[in-house]
């Protein structure tokens, strides 16, 4: 299809997506729009993530097949999960080669594109083709654009739906709260709150109860059409009935059939309602009461929408109910808060940890009007408390350690709950480390930051008539939360200062040249090693462009490109050259990393390591290795000719010895012949490897008849296979007729693989299998021999390596055959790989390009 047709298809897609109003309509518009002849995609699916289960739900498809909408795919399976793990587009040229592939109608290629809504991954667009490697860069760009457009449209639809729903609810709640806030008389307020809830949820019954903290009971204070008589005044224990259950759990409750519910109260044995919905009335986690709505219609089922609406109403109603009670208490607390804020303001100006700890304790004692106190911090390494501050306790216990659970502070540290001890001298849990008779009343609170234990603070009083109560504890807890933050800030400041000093020393004393840059490539700081390497003083480089400073005109463009890459949050590592102040060049290894603070890119850090000596050493080593390879490659004739003469003469003399029936001489000549042949094979391997390394090995690539090649190889290797009692199985080449290769080198490779299989297999089976796969011809040599571990298989292709030393001693060999074979395969445009397991044998696979039929001309 033409580019014009593709553009028209994309325009139709954009129009359809823009016109869709609902989330699912948008998904259908995307799949239908992409399933256009001009685009050429065979199947499309759009899946959205269920946030509750993590499953992908199929919401729209286009293309052939019976894939049902609503199909769910669990996490951990399928190719389409990958974009949800990293937020990136994934292209699979051949789906059946991927381990995550789930068998489906598609065996070609697939593109999986993430869907983002406001930076949140909400789904994935799946696009399939029946052909492998079917997608190009233009397709990926189109699919990214389609996914972006879909994400924007879905986000818009979700926002619109949520806004409409919130507007309706907020209007109803606004009217309800407006009515409630206009009432000042408590009894009327309570009944009005209940009546509004009944109306808002459209139910037939309702009750409202407040919490009596002294009796620890709920009291029904308002009733709407419940029972034959007014239930106002009914009391329920915490945990009794539906409202008692909610008061205990502080969580809402839905009961579908109250008459069958095992937890119903005996006080409500005769009721006509069926469904029940109850929510706690809470203010800042503190229980105010509970509200229940009921309905007598058996078909009325309370659901998530009802619960959400009641949960929106409940806190507002709780606030309205508590306003009358809290007015006087708030005025009293305002004075306390003023004193507390003044204390915290004073503490906030102090960052030295030791002084903060002492002042925290002194301020707490003053604020609470007590005799004295102690403060302990938690040591996470030793899992105990250590007293770090003491105020007017008679005996200074600073440095004393207490185990978790020991004494009052140890108990609070263990439970993370405050405690009041009216008569400490009579308390059985007191620590033996505290024997002062002056301590009478004790109050301890934990110091917590986000639920994490920082320490504990204790206030004590010597007057036996001073009894700490709930108000004292409330004030101490208010103080403790702020004090914990002040202590933690001081601790973090001290730790930060120490860490900063550590890293400053690390950079200053580092032998590697280090420079930090801002986002404009300007130097922010540099260490002494940078000054020494480039010959600049720090004052000369600050504020200057680093690439203008240490590069020449020829190398500047490349250096600037790498700096931009490092600043773009992509680390850079390379070997390059840089220029000193005096104009001389230095070989360096450059490492550039981005500097990100609180998610914002603020600059980069560059490290320059002088590798001049390392490069010279490597060049010398490479030159020596090249000279060795050139020497060995040129010595082929000089090394082989004497050995061929030795082997030839040994064969001649062996015949003479046989004619003379000289057994002893014949045995010696056989040893000479065997040793010479072995040495010649070793030299041939070394010379082949040297030729490869010297670049003097030439390949004559031409179509090779596979059937003839297999006949040659099996005929040659037959005696060797039978020597260890093995059986050779050659599977027919079938449709494989030719392969593009060097006939001699491929024959050498196969002979080497079969020879190895014969050597490491005893009384087993060796299989030579040939097939065509993905435009290539495969030769597999499989044995049932000793096999290899993964570690052994990883180094089997290294020069002069065998699986292990014991193998070399037992089976012999130079360790060069597989190295040369792999290099031959690579020079012929192919590969040589191995799969093996100990005791299960090994499989070596040669993969070479198949020769096109047109290239082959019969002789």
Q: 619-643, pLDDT tens digit by residue?
A: 776 666 666 666 655 555 566 667 6
Written as six digits, the tokens of 12 are 């139709």
Lowest mean pLDDT among 55-64, 184-193, 398-407: 184-193
CA angle 24, 26, 32 (to 5 degrees): 100
Query: Bigger pLDDT: 489 or 543?
Result: 543
Residue 293: pLDDT over 70: yes
- pLDDT for 683 beyond 70: no
**Across 169-180, average pLDDT:** 64
Partner residues linked to 19 by β-bridges: none
Looking at per-residue pLDDT, the higher value among 634 and 28 belongs to 28
pLDDT at residue 718, as a whole number: 86
Reply yes or no on whether the pLDDT at 189 is more than 80.
no
Residues 6+ apart with CB under 8 A from 118: 155
Q: Which of 256, 257, 217, 261 is nearest to 236 (CA)?
A: 217
Give 548-591 pLDDT, tens digit per residue: 888 888 888 888 888 888 888 778 888 888 999 898 988 888 88
Q: In the structure, what pLDDT confidence band is assigned to residue 127 with cuts at 50, 70 and 90?
A: very high
Q: Rounded distance, CA 412 to CA 391, Å? A: 20
- What confidence tens digit (pLDDT) does each residue in 223-235 have? 888 877 778 888 8
Q: What is the pLDDT of residue 63?
A: 87
More confident residue, 780 or 671: 780
- pLDDT above 50: residue 157: yes
Confidence of residue 852 (pLDDT cuts 50, 70, 90): low
Q: Mind listing the pLDDT tens digit for each residue in 98-117?
A: 888 888 778 899 999 999 98
Residue 86, Cβ density class (10 Å: 0-12 exposed, 13-18 middle, ≥19 buried): exposed
Residue 845's pLDDT is what? 93
Q: Bigger pLDDT: 754 or 799?
A: 754
More confident call, 650 vs 291: 291
Buried b / exposed e over 341-377, threshold 16 CB at 10 Å, is eebbeebeebbebeebbbbbbbbbbebbebbbbbbbb
Residue-level pLDDT at 345 = 67
Residue 327 has pLDDT above 70, yes or no: no
Q: What is d(CA 364, CA 798) in angstroms, rounded to the nearest whole number?
A: 73
Per-residue pLDDT averaged across 14-40, rounded? 87
Helices (H) and strands (E) in the chain, counts: 22, 30
- pLDDT per residue over 241-251, tens digit each? 899 999 999 99
694-724 residue pLDDT tens: 566 778 888 988 888 888 888 888 888 888 8
Please indicate whether residue 656 or residue 476 has the higher confidence score (pLDDT): 476
pLDDT tens per residue, range 200-209:
888 889 899 9
pLDDT at 854: 47
DSSP per-residue string spanning 462-486: S-TT----HHHHHHHHHHHHHHHHH
Nearest one of 836, 838, 800 to 819, comparing CA atoms = 800
pLDDT of residue 859: 37
- More confident of the two residues 6 and 829: 829
pTM of the model: 0.33
If you average pLDDT over residues 413-418, what whole number do you get?
A: 90
- What pLDDT shows up at residue 847? 93
pLDDT band at 855 (very low <50, low <70, confident <90, very high): very low
Those residues with Cβ within 8 angstroms of residue 340's Cβ, 6 or more apart along the chain or in another chain: 367, 475, 478, 479, 482
Mean pLDDT for 155-161 is 83
Are 320 and 177 contacting, i.e. CB atoms less than 8 angstroms apart?
yes
Average pLDDT (424-431) is: 82
More confident residue, 499 or 766: 766
* Choice among 12-16, 394-398, 431-435, 764-768 with the minimum mean pLDDT: 431-435
Return the higher-pLDDT residue of 210 and 668. Answer: 210
Q: How far apart are CA 753 and CA 836, in angstroms?
A: 14
Reading the block at residue 627, the tokens are 């000279």
Q: How far is CA 541 from CA 529, 548, 549, 595, in A?
A: 13, 10, 8, 19
Per-residue pLDDT at 520 exceeds 70? yes
- What pLDDT score does 16 carry? 84
Query: Does the structure show a pLDDT above 80 at 39?
Result: yes
CB atoms within 10 A of CB 111: 26
263: pLDDT strictly greater than 60? yes
Q: Give percent of the chain above pLDDT 90.
A: 14
Percent of the chain predicted with pLDDT > 70? 83
* DSSP annotation of 266: G
Indicate the average pLDDT of the chain: 81
Question: How many residues does the structure list for the chain?
Answer: 859
Q: Name every residue whose Cβ is closer than 8 Å to that of residue 827 and which is 6 or more positions away in sequence.
A: 692, 697, 699, 742, 745
Whether residue 811 has pLDDT greater than 70: no
**Is the pLDDT at 453 greater than 80, yes or no?**
yes
């Amino acid at each position: 299809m033409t580019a014009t047709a593709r553009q028209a298809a994309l325009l139709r897609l954009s129009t359809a997506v823009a016109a869709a109003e609902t989330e699912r309509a948008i998904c259908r518009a995307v799949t239908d729009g992409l399933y256009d002849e001009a685009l050429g995609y065979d199947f499309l699916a759009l899946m959205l993530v269920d946030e509750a289960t993590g499953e992908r739900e199929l919401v729209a498809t286009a293309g052939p097949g019976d894939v049902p909408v609503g199909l769910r795919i669990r996490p951990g399976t399928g190719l389409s999960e990958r974009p949800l793990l990293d937020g990136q587009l994934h292209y699979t040229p051949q789906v059946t080669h991927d381990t995550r592939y789930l068998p489906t109608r598609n065996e070609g290629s697939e593109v999986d594109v993430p869907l983002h809504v406001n930076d949140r991954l909400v789904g994935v667009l799946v696009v399939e083709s029946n052909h492998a490697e079917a997608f190009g860069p233009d397709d990926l760009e189109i699919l990214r654009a389609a996914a972006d457009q879909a994400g924007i449209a879905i986000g818009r639809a979700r926002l619109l739906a949520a806004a409409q729903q919130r507007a309706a609810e907020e209007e109803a709640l606004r009217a309800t709260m407006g009515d409630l806030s206009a009432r000042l008389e408590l009894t009327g307020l309570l009944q009005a709150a209940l009546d509004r809830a009944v109306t808002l949820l459209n139910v037939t019954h309702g009750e409202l109860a407040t919490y009596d903290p002294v009796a620890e009971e709920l009291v029904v204070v308002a009733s709407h059409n419940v029972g034959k008589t007014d239930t106002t005044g009914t009391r329920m224990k915490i945990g009794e009935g539906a409202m008692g259950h909610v008061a205990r759990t502080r969580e809402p409750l839905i009961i579908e059939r109250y008459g069958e519910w095992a937890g119903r109260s005996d006080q409500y044995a005769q009721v006509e309602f069926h469904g029940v919905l109850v929510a706690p009335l809470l203010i800042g986690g503190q229980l105010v009461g509970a509200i229940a709505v009921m309905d007598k219609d058996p078909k009325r089922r309370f659901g998530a929408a009802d619960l959400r609406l009641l949960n929106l109403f409940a806190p507002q109603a709780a606030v309205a109910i508590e306003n009358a009670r809290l007015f006087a208490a708030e005025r009293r607390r305002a004075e306390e808060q003023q004193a507390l804020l003044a204390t915290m303001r004073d503490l906030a100006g102090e960052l030295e940890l030791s002084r903060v700890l002492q002042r925290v304790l002194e301020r707490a004692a003053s604020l609470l009007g007590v005799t004295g106190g102690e403060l302990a911090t938690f040591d996470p390494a030793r899992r105990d408390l250590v007293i770090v501050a003491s105020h007017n306790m008679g005996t200074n216990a600073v440095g004393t350690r207490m185990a978790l659970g020991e004494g009052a502070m140890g108990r609070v540290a263990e439970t993370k709950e405050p405690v009041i001890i009216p008569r400490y001298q009579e308390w059985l849990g007191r620590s033996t480390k505290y024997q002062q008779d002056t301590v009478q009343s004790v109050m301890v609170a934990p110091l917590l930051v986000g639920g994490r234990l920082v320490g504990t603070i204790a206030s004590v009083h010597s007057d036996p008539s001073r009894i700490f109560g709930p108000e004292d504890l409330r004030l101490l807890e208010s103080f403790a939360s702020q004090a914990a933050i002040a202590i933690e800030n001081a601790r973090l400041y001290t730790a930060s200062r120490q860490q900063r000093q550590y890293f400053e020393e690390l950079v200053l004393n580092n032998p590697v040249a280090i420079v930090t840059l801002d986002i404009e490539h300007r130097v922010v700081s540099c260490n002494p090693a940078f000054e020494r390497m480039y010959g600049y003083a720090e004052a000369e480089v600050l504020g200057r462009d680093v690439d203008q400073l240490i590069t020449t005109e020829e190398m500047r463009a490349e250096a600037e490109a790498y700096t931009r890459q490092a600043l773009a949050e992509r680390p850079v590592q390379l070997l390059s050259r840089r220029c000193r102040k005096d104009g001389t060049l230095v070989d360096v290894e450059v490492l550039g990393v981005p500097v990100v603070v609180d998610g914002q890119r603020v600059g980069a850090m560059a490290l320059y390591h002088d590798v001049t000596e390392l490069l010279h050493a490597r060049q010398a080593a490479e030159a020596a290795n090249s000279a060795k390879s050139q020497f060995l490659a040129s010595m082929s004739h000089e090394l082989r000719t004497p050995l061929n003469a030795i082997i030839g003469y040994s064969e001649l003399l062996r015949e003479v010895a046989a004619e003379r029936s000289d057994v002893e001489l014949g045995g010696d000549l056989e040893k000479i012949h065997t040793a010479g042949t072995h040495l010649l094979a070793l030299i041939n391997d070394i010379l082949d490897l040297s030729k490869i390394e010297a670049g003097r090995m030439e390949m004559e690539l031409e179509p090779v008849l596979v059937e003839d090649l297999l006949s040659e190889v099996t005929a040659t290797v037959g005696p060797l296979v039978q020597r260890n009692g093995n059986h050779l199985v050659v599977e027919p080449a079938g449709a494989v007729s030719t392969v593009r290769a060097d006939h001699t080198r491929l024959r050498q490779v196969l002979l080497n693989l079969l020879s190895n299989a014969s050597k490491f297999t005893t009384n087993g089976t060796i299989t030579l299998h040939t097939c065509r796969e993905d435009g290539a011809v495969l030769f597999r040599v499989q044995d049932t021999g000793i096999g290899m571990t993964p570690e052994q298989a990883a180094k089997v292709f290294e020069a002069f390596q065998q699986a292990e030393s014991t193998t070399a001693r037992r089976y012999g060999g130079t360790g060069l055959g597989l190295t040369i074979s792999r290099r031959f395969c690579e020079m012929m445009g192919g590969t040589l790989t191995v799969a093996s397991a100990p005791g299960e044998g090994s499989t070596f696979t040669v993969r070479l390009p198949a020769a096109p039929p047109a290239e082959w001309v019969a002789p």
